[in-house]
Amino acid sequence: ASLTADHNRSRKRKRTHAKLREKTAGMYASRVLFNSKRATASGVFRHFSAGGKKTLAALKEADVKGKVVFLRADLNVPMTKEGEVKVTDDTRVAASVPTISALKSMGAKVVVTSHLGRPKGKVNERMRMAPVAECLGQHLKCEVPSIDDCIGKSVTSATKNMQNGDVILLENLRFHEGETQNDDDFSQDLYKSTGADVYVNDAFGTAHRAHSSTAGIVSKIKSEKSDAPAVAGILLEKELTFLSSAVDTPKRPFAAVVGGAKVSTKITVLESLLDKCDKLLISGGMIFTFLKARGFNVGKSILEEDAVDLARELEEKAAAKGVELVLPVDVIIADKFDADAFTDEVSVERIPDGWMGLDHGPETCKLFRDTLADCKTIVWNGPMGAFEMAQFSTGTYDLAEYLAELTEEKGAVTIVGGGDSVAAVKKRGLAEKLTHISTGGGASLEMLEGKILPGVAALDDA
């Protein structure tokens, strides 16, 4: 009977998906977006500002026509590891197209830049941008020349030969170590080589880094062209709108679900969330540090001995602030960290010596669902267990499925950030059923902490 009921609910969700997604989007838009709007060339209404910063929609055609636009995009795409170098997943390339197309349609000379992989300041033949340029050209349905460097004479020559509406892609920024160091000379070289008149950042995934292409070049452009626009592209605008609104003015009850292995790496975001949310649900490997703080045996589970006091203090702070802090009540344990391990299901008070917890159990799945049932805004960052192995994936996938259900059936605003969480959602085929999937793991965490992102700070205030 239970399986039949679940099947019927699943069919109902599928039938009503489109209608409910439209309703959810409308409810959210009316609450968080800005009143001033401009239609882009694609006909989509964008907004003059997001997160207190100007966006691409604030620019008129006269601001960019015939001018060189330095566009920092996120084209850090997966590539083949052997043989001919090809793009294996063009999701990020496709996501950059709206901003580039809008600039093209206004007659800008679009100089696209990005990093690819981690070449650590040296040329790596498998990390060149040429295959990405080919892929981008296919999406834009136009030629996108790949320039053999990101600074120097070849860049200057290519830029000077551009016509209005042209697009070029510079070589991997991180072939130069000055990029990640925000080196003053490299920032100047980026500006002088391109002759940039306008700056657009559309790379949220690197916005939390003070690099030459995200911060340094902006100051160089404005040192000679003080009125030069520096704005957020369409992708960055979306991230700023959803994340800043969810954290600063959430529709309540507001819940945060935080997973991952270590308390120490997320201590600041956990403390920040205690000042913002009504409910804080914690799972993943970090729960064993909390369980240790409660005096429970955790066997061979991952444990940060030096963070036990931190965990205890977080629970005390949550109680003092009136935040409902929820931990798992049962776990799936294994005799080793392996897909072929022997497993069992036990309460958190009964983890035996020699065993490790690798996922939360079915009672916790139910507890988390009950806790989130009335929430209007939910932010999730970090997996609930070792979801890459099937027998330890239930907690993560159950949460993803329930968030999709809350979005569709109750109009909840659901925001997912962090590489592993996003990967789990996509693997389950649920990305389109959630309100927002963040493109930046580290950047989204820092926004949740309330930090100012250097790549955002560099843009013009609205």
Pairing relationship of beta strands 198-201 and 230-232 according to DSSP bridges: parallel
Closest CA to 365 of 328, 335, 391: 328
Q: Is 377 exposed, middle or buried (0-12, 13-18, 19+ CB in 10 A)?
A: buried
Q: Which of 46, 53, 54, 92 is catalytic?
A: 92
Is residue 442 flagged as an active site residue?
A: yes
Rg (CA), the chain: 24
Cβ distance 74 to 204 under 8 Å? yes
- Any idea how long the chain is? 462
Q: Which of 117, 137, 165, 442 is catalytic?
A: 442
Distance of CA 163 to the CA centre of its chain: 34
Cβ distance 357 to 298 under 8 Å? yes
Is residue 72 flagged as an active site residue?
A: no
Q: Which of 262, 276, 312, 451 is catalytic?
A: 262
Is residue 109 flagged as an active site residue?
A: no
Number of helical H runs and strand E runs in the chain: 16, 18
Is residue 92 flagged as an active site residue?
A: yes
What is the rounded CA–CA span in Å between residue 23 and residue 32? 15
What is the rounded CA–CA span in Å between residue 149 and residue 155? 7
Q: Which of 152, 195, 419, 450 is catalytic?
A: 419
Other CB atoms within 10 Å distance of the CB of residue 85: 15
Catalytically annotated residues = 92, 262, 419, 442
